[in-house]
């Protein structure tokens, strides 16, 4: 700026001196006015060029200006660059913020003061059955028709949430949503949705569990109470007393079995997975299972002999890594279930097989009455029974299949059920290859 001023003064001095020599004092004034006009025209022309460059809003374009104007262009260019960098940073932060909201497992909607949708993430669109773009500007009440949500919007008190049904993907999967509005800004609202289907199902399962346990215990307690009252109030012969006491023992055993199964489930859920360091020899284990199954079968007849035809097949030297008590519980539950629900004279095949990938499969197959297809997905639920009256007669607690499935999963395996009415049932436990071992007895190893 100082150099520009000095140059202008020098140019003015030279021009005025030349004018004085040519025409005296009049020449001085003419020269001075001419210099000022020239300087003003030059500044106007450069200022016009600067204005055109600024309007282009392109810091990379050349302005072709030097001196003071060139320095001004450089400063403006640096200002443009700083502005663009800040705008880019803000845009990146906005995109990161929106990406974080999109990744949220909760739904987020922004509503204007009238309740129209300004923005929503994909989760909210999925929860409420909305379209992220097409439904922008639509009133939320016109799209979410749940009566509970309509009342919630109308009352104006958003201090608590409301539970509504979301857009379910199928009739068998009902989506439960927890929805709450949060006012912000100038009368705008933030709507949050959360999928609580699993929690609602867990609450329902807990209620069903308590109700089932209460029902299962109440029945034998009622029977015991009736027998006790009979023994206390009526004069009975020794034989009659023995009959009643035997019936009471049956009910007491039933309650003991129920409590034992409940404790087993509780221990399974509260303990870590069984280690792979413990090796379980399946030969003695299956010998015990076979003996128990024969005894249970004999109890259903009148001759003291088993009333079912059994077939047990087991590969030699087969061992499993895991908990012996848990494996015994799982396989015995499946075998005993087959005995209880297979009619007298039926056939029960118990087989251990090794798969091509090294996995071991335990299967129990019977030729009983079979199970309808609609019951199969729920058979491993606690206390679920196809025929409650028949189950009570057979002495089952309704927890055996749930225990077997839980044990298989704890060992990294899986539980499968196949059945058809009139064709029998097929239950199987699959244990992964890392749990399977083939170990010869020590005596044979020493002999080799």
Window from 66-80, 99-113, 167-181, 214-228 with minimum mean pLDDT: 66-80
Angle at 230 between CA 225 and CA 236, to 5 degrees: 145
| Cα–Cα distances in angstroms (integers) from residue 215 to residues 208, 254, 258, 300, 365, in the given order | 10, 13, 12, 25, 31
Whether the CA torsion 320, 273, 379, 329 is positive or negative: it is positive
Window from 87-96, 230-239, 296-305 with minimum mean pLDDT: 296-305
- DSSP β-bridge partners for residue 164: 177
Q: Is the pLDDT of residue 18 over 70?
A: no
| 8 band by pLDDT with thresholds 50, 70 and 90 | low
Window from 131-135, 314-318, 444-448 with minimum mean pLDDT: 444-448
Range 64-71 average pLDDT: 64
| Cα–Cα distances in angstroms (integers) from residue 280 to residues 267, 427, 434, 439, in the given order | 20, 21, 13, 10
| Token duo for residue 22 | 């040519």
Which fold does the domain 104-195 belong to in CATH?
Answer: Beta-Lactamase (3.30.450)
The span from the CA of 210 to the CA of 255, in Å, is: 15
Q: Within its chain, how far is the Cα of 125 from the centroid? A: 18
Q: Is the pLDDT of residue 234 over 80?
A: yes
The span from the CA of 171 to the CA of 282, in Å, is: 44
User: For 361, how many CA atoms within 13 A lie in the half-sphere containing its CB?
Assistant: 14
Predicted pLDDT at 172? 56
Predicted pLDDT at 431? 94
Range 390-394 average pLDDT: 49
DSSP state at residue 173: B
By C-alpha distance, which of 216, 429, 406 is closest to 334? 429
The span from the CA of 414 to the CA of 362, in Å, is: 11
What residue has token string 């895991």? Answer: 322
Predicted pLDDT at 42? 66
Give the other-Cβ count within 10 Å of 54's Cβ. Answer: 13
User: For 208, how many CA atoms within 13 A lie in the half-sphere containing its CB?
Assistant: 10
Predicted pLDDT at 59? 60
Range 254-263 average pLDDT: 79
Q: Is the pLDDT of residue 15 over 70?
A: no
Range 177-193 average pLDDT: 90
Predicted pLDDT at 446? 37
- Residue 50, helix vs strand vs coil: helix
Q: Is the pLDDT of residue 443 over 50?
A: no
Q: Give me the chain's average pLDDT, please.
A: 80
The span from the CA of 279 to the CA of 323, in Å, is: 8
The region that residue 317 occupies, defined by phi over 0 for left and psi between -120 and 50 for alpha, beta otherwise, is left
Range 275-448 has CATH code 3.90.950.10 = no
Predicted pLDDT at 102? 84
Predicted pLDDT at 447? 37
| Token duo for residue 358 | 């090294």
Predicted pLDDT at 38? 66
Neighbour order of strands in the sheet with 279-281: 279-281, 318-321, 436-438
Determine contact, residues 46/69, Cβ cutoff 8 Å. Answer: yes
| Higher-confidence position of 323 and 445 | 323
Q: Is the pLDDT of residue 365 over 70?
A: yes
pTM: 0.55
Q: Is the pLDDT of residue 388 over 60?
A: no
Range 302-324 average pLDDT: 87
The span from the CA of 157 to the CA of 162, in Å, is: 11
| 133 band by pLDDT with thresholds 50, 70 and 90 | confident
Predicted pLDDT at 31? 58
| 310 band by pLDDT with thresholds 50, 70 and 90 | very high
| Token duo for residue 401 | 């299949």
Which fold does the domain 200-271 belong to in CATH?
Answer: Helix Hairpins (1.10.287)
> What pairing do the DSSP bridges indicate for beta strands 347-354 and 360-366?
antiparallel
The span from the CA of 431 to the CA of 415, in Å, is: 9
| Higher-confidence position of 389 and 241 | 241
> What pairing do the DSSP bridges indicate for beta strands 436-438 and 424-431?
unpaired
Angle at 31 between CA 26 and CA 37, to 5 degrees: 130
The span from the CA of 114 to the CA of 140, in Å, is: 9
The span from the CA of 431 to the CA of 437, in Å, is: 11
| Cα–Cα distances in angstroms (integers) from residue 403 to residues 265, 378, 400, in the given order | 6, 14, 5
What residue has token string 């309509």? Answer: 150
Window from 286-290, 439-443, 444-448 with minimum mean pLDDT: 444-448
Predicted pLDDT at 328? 92
The torsion defined by the Cα of 419, 420, 422 and 427, in degrees rounded to 10, comes to: -10
DSSP string, 202-231: HHHHHHHHHHHHHHHHHHHHHHHHHHHHHH
By C-alpha distance, which of 323, 315, 338 is closest to 409? 323
Window from 315-319, 350-354, 374-378, 440-444 with minimum mean pLDDT: 440-444
Q: How many residues does the chain have?
A: 448
User: For 29, how many CA atoms within 13 A lie in the half-sphere containing its CB?
Assistant: 2
Range 115-120 average pLDDT: 91
Q: Is the pLDDT of residue 391 over 50?
A: no
């Amino acid at each position: 700026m100082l150099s520009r001023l000095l140059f202008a003064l020098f140019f003015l001095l030279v021009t005025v001196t030349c004018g004085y020599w040519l025409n005296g004092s009049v020449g001085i004034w003419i020269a001075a006015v001419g210099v000022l006009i020239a300087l003003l025209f030059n500044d106007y022309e450069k200022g016009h060029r600067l204005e055109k460059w600024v309007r282009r809003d392109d810091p990379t374009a050349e302005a072709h200006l030097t001196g003071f104007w060139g320095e001004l262009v450089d400063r403006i260019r640096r200002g443009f660059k700083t502005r663009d960098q800040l705008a880019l940073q803000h845009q990146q932060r906005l995109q990161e913020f929106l990406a974080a909201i999109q990744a949220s497992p909760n739904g987020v909607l922004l509503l204007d003061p009238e309740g129209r949708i300004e923005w929503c993430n994909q989760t909210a669109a999925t929860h409420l059955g909305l379209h992220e773009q097409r439904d922008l500007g639509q009133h939320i009440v016109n799209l979410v028709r749940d009566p509970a949500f309509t009342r919630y919007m109308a009352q104006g008190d958003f201090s608590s949430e409301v539970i509504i049904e979301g857009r379910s993907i199928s009739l068998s999967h009902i989506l439960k949503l927890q929805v709450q509005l949060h006012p912000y800004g100038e009368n705008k609202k933030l709507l949050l949705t959360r999928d609580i289907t699993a929690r609602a199902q867990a609450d329902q399962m807990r209620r069903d569990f308590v109700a089932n346990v209460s029902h299962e215990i109440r029945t034998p307690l009622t029977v015991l109470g009736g027998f006790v009252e009979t023994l206390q109030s009526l004069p009975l012969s020794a034989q009659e007393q023995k009959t009643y006491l035997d019936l009471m023992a049956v009910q007491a055993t039933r309650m003991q079995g129920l409590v034992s199964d409940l404790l087993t489930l509780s221990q399974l859920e509260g303990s870590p997975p069984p280690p792979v360091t413990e090796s379980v020899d399946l030969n003695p284990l299956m010998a015990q299972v076979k003996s128990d199954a024969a005894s249970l079968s004999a109890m259903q007849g009148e001759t003291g002999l088993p009333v079912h035809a059994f077939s047990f097949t087991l590969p030699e030297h087969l061992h499993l890594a895991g908990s012996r008590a848990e494996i015994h519980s799982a396989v015995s539950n499946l075998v005993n279930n087959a005995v209880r629900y297979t009619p007298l004279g039926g056939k029960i095949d118990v087989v251990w097989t090794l798969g091509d990938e090294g996995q071991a499969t335990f299967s129990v197959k019977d030729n009983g009455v079979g199970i309808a297809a609609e019951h199969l997905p729920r058979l491993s639920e606690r206390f679920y029974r196809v025929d409650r009256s028949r189950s009570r007669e057979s002495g089952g607690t309704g927890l055996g299949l749930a225990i077997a499935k839980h044990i298989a999963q704890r060992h990294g395996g899986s539980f499968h059920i196949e059945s058809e009415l009139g064709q029998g049932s097929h239950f199987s436990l699959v244990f992964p290859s890392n749990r399977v071992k083939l170990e010869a007895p020590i005596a044979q190893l020493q002999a080799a």
